[in-house]
Amino acid sequence: MTWTSPFSLPGYWFKGNLHCHTTQSDGLASPEEAVRWYYERGYDFLAITDHWVLTPGCPTPAGAPDGAFITITGTELHGAGYHMLALGLSALPAESLADAPSEVAAVVRASGGLAFIAHPYWTGQSSAEVGAIAGIAGVEVFNAVCEKMDGLGYARVHWDDLLSQGRRLTGLSVDDTHWKHDSHGTGYVMVRAAALTEADILAAIAAGHFYSSTGPTIQDLRLVALADGRPALKVCCSPCATITFYTQGPKGRRFTAPAGEALHSAVLPLRREQVFVRVECADSAGRIAWSNAIMIEDLPAVEG
């Protein structure tokens, strides 16, 4: 497998939230109210993910041009010790499987969907427990409502532990709004897709052609050659206070802007022993953008 930067692909960037609750389960807004709220704030798509309720596409908000906003079929599934975000599936798993997360994920995949582990820190899962679940596409690296309620919204360590083991998992930023804790609009994904359709968005997410954010913009991410010919990864972003490259163990690096200034790019030399590399760009307000991880073995130019 060879890595391809989503920034080099044809298509468009689409903004969306992949975790949202409504009056169909434990949210305070109706599906129609939720769709309109995100559409009016510049989002391109929304997944309504009520608990054990499968919500297919909702009508385009009144007054919106055809094709200006879509909803992604979704649900949130859960059992003993885990919650699972499921996107693009055509039917719910049987609730009798609820306490067997690998079986639930298998049913989601067989139904054409993608399964992600939701807010593992808040749920109390260890990375080993997440890693024991087969067939998941990724994890929520940031969940806004869990952060606002209990300070348990980040899952960086879970993600990095699994990446270090060679698990090819992507990381989502979501708001998980229930319309109770002012989390709506906080976490989102930016997806590079050919068109604004459910099939194109889900295919891009499955391929990892997106980044996640709570505010900053990643403008480019690509391989470059240093002056001595060594390969490196370069990121360009909106003005940020820090840019951090994470790898297996202490083989990455943090770049910090001088007082009163901002960073717009950074470069990290690559080595085979890093196993993976991903980037976090944090602005002066503490908002973060996360790239998906690149597995070093997918970069043939990296040696030794």
For the chain, 304 residues long, give each residue's pLDDT as a single digit of tens: 899 999 999 999 999 999 999 999 999 999 999 999 999 999 999 999 999 999 997 788 888 888 899 999 999 999 999 999 999 999 999 999 999 999 999 999 999 999 999 999 999 999 999 999 999 999 999 999 999 999 999 999 999 999 999 999 999 999 999 999 888 999 999 999 999 999 999 999 999 999 999 999 999 999 999 999 999 999 999 999 999 999 998 899 999 999 999 999 999 999 999 999 999 999 999 999 999 999 999 998 787 5
For residues 221 and 234, the answer to whether their CB atoms sit within 8 Å is: yes
Tell me the CATH class for 218-298: mainly beta
CA separation, residue 126 to residues 55, 70, 130, 161, 266 (Å): 30, 34, 6, 10, 32
The CATH code for residues 6-212 is: 3.20.20.140
Q: What is the pTM of this model?
A: 0.97
Please state the domain extents for the chain. 6-212, 218-298
